[in-house]
Amino acid sequence: MSILNLIAVSLCTLPLHLAGCASSPQHQSLTITHTFKSSPDQTNNYPVLIDTPENFNPNTSFAIILFHGGYLSDPHWTVPGTYTQDGREIPITRDSKPTTDADNLAAALLNAGYAVVRYGSIHTDKNQSQPRPITFPQTVELAQLVLKATYENLSIHPARCITLGHSLGATRAAITAPDAAAHIILAGAYITPTMTSPHKLAQDPQSDTPAQDYDRSGTTDPFEQAAHHAITNDKTKTHDIFTNNNHTYPWPSDTLIESDSPTLAIWGSLDPTSYHGPVLEHLFKQADKQSLLTTHYFPERGHNLSTEENNRIDKIDPAVVQSIINWLSEHFPN
């Protein structure tokens, strides 16, 4: 049986750099102690960080829950600056320094008056220093516990919570919080039922029509070729359900459309997963709900929505963060 134990570790002034912030945000560090149903012999601890503005009111304010991408992450979404291979330091980021995009997002959101929830899924065995991987179903299970912790610790209704997910985290968010007030998708992966590789879609010999300039940049990118082929050749419903680790889930696009909640979706033009953007627009239009979807495409930005140089990434583009704040201020002002 699952065990949920939430321990308030600290309550202190938020240790983020919030220049010009008029309020004094408060910071809670919680721990979820949990035994996965699929691993009954292992109990692990996972961190949850909850930051609230000084005048936060759960009846009138909104909370943003950040869902990290991939399978493993700390609450800060840390990407190390380098990794070691054959005794050599190989750079990952442009300046070889770590990035912590969740912290950048949290600072901006708090400054705009929203509560922010971050969590981590990394844990290690007692005798191992390497992070122990967890499956996608386990990440969903953990996300459900994070939602419960959010509702309980903020005394807030789910309808006043907004999800913000990066990559596979956007998929997780739609699965675990379909009734959220809104959804924000950053470089969403597996968002639409087009499981074919975007590279194969773009290069499919059956595609004999020119690609459409969906982002209105004046040029057509590979993601636009892939999206155009998927839409014009009716490849937007290739799988009825999303299957991962032998578990099945509704497609995020179906959940988003059925929820009737506003959705903001952001992709970068260098990111192959960006083909989900035009497909998502197509599906919303088919359902006559295009007014609920806002999409932004940032030129020359990759999967981390940062600049890229020689396959090395940077921190999330401040313009992307500002576009999120602008959209929230318009749809969910505090």
DSSP 89-101: EEE-BTTSS-EEH
Is the pLDDT assigned to residue 5 strictly greater than 50? Answer: no
The pLDDT tens digits for 71-98 are 999 999 999 999 998 889 999 999 999 9
Stretch 254-280: mean pLDDT: 95
Q: Across all residues in the chain, what is the average pLDDT?
A: 86
Confidence category of residue 244, pLDDT binned at 50, 70, 90: confident
Structural domain boundaries in the chain = 5-331
Q: Is residue 287 over pLDDT 90?
A: yes
- The pTM (predicted TM-score) of the whole model is 0.89
Report the pLDDT averaged over residues 181-190.
96
Interval 38-65 mean pLDDT:
92
Cα angle value 36/39/42 (rounded, 5°): 85
Distance CA 265, CA 286 (A): 17
Q: What angle do CA 75, 16, 19 make, to 5 degrees?
A: 145
pLDDT greater than 70 at residue 189: yes
Rounded to an integer, the average pLDDT of 35-44 is 83
Contacts 24+ apart (CB under 8 A), 313-321: 313/79, 313/92, 313/93, 313/94, 313/99, 314/93, 314/94, 314/95, 314/99, 315/99, 315/100, 315/101, 315/104, 316/99, 316/101, 316/104, 316/105, 318/104, 320/186, 320/266, 320/296, 321/104, 321/105, 321/108
The confidence score (pLDDT) of residue 203 equals 59
For residue 9, is pLDDT > 70? no
164 has which bridge partners? 66, 184
Range 6-18 average pLDDT = 35
pLDDT over 70 percentage in the chain: 85
Highest mean pLDDT among 9-23, 172-186, 216-230: 172-186
* Residue type, position 229, single letter: H
5-331 has which CATH code?
3.40.50.1820
Predicted confidence at residue 209, as pLDDT, reads: 58
